Amino acid sequence: MRASRILPLAICLLLALTRTVIAQTSPEPKTDSAPSYGIDPAKSYPGTTVLRLLIEAKVAGDAAIGDAYADGYKSGLLAAAPDRDYWKSLAQSKTFSLPWPAVLVTDALCLFGGMALDSSLRR
């Protein structure tokens, strides 16, 4: 093998090994959290209490996920359209109102003009 190919191979091998070592050193969850929550591991709890706690945990988790999604969605919108507030205020300040009598006259002229054109083409 040429010397120019050994260095990139050594770097790739080193990167692969460091990634596996980093992936294996994840922090272990704490197992002594039972006393901090007032839970006695040796005690047997009734099923209704466990079910109530699971439901409360699920509701709290769903609410947290919903809030995180909403926050991420808002920040994503702001990142996608940073000038949105400017254009919205500009559009609201430049309101355009139609002069309804002019609209009605234009519609009537178009209607009668179409009828006249249709009658002239039928002859």
Report the predicted TM-score, pTM, of the whole model to 2 decimal places.
0.35
- The whole-number pLDDT of residue 60 equals 92
DSSP state letter for 2: -
Mean pLDDT in the chain?
Answer: 79
The answer to whether residue 52 sits within a structural domain is yes
Contact 34, 41 (CB under 8 A): yes
Q: Is the pLDDT of residue 49 over 80?
A: yes
What is the arithmetic mean of pLDDT over 47-53?
85
The answer to whether residue 113 sits within a structural domain is no
More confident residue, 123 or 90: 90
Coil, strand or helix at 5: helix
The answer to whether residue 26 sits within a structural domain is no
Contacts for 34 with CB less than 8 Å, ≥ 6 apart: 40, 41
- The whole-number pLDDT of residue 50 equals 84
Cα-only R_g, the chain:
36
What's the number of domains the chain is made of?
A: 1
The answer to whether residue 69 sits within a structural domain is yes
Q: Which residue range forms the structural domain that includes residue 60?
A: 46-82
Amino acid letter for position 80: A
The answer to whether residue 122 sits within a structural domain is no
Q: Is the pLDDT of residue 25 over 60?
A: no
- Give residue-wise pLDDT tens across range 54-111: 899 999 999 999 988 888 887 877 777 777 778 888 888 877 777 788 888 889 999 9
User: What DSSP string describes 50-110?
Assistant: HHHHHHHHHHHHHHHHHHHHHHHHHHHHHHH-TTHHHHHHHHHHT-----HHHHHHHHHHH
Would you place residue 33 in the very low, low, confident or very high pLDDT band (cuts 50, 70, 90)?
Answer: low
C-alpha angle 41-44-50 in degrees, rounded to nearest 5: 90
Contact 40, 34 (CB under 8 A): yes
The answer to whether residue 77 sits within a structural domain is yes
The answer to whether residue 34 sits within a structural domain is no
The answer to whether residue 54 sits within a structural domain is yes
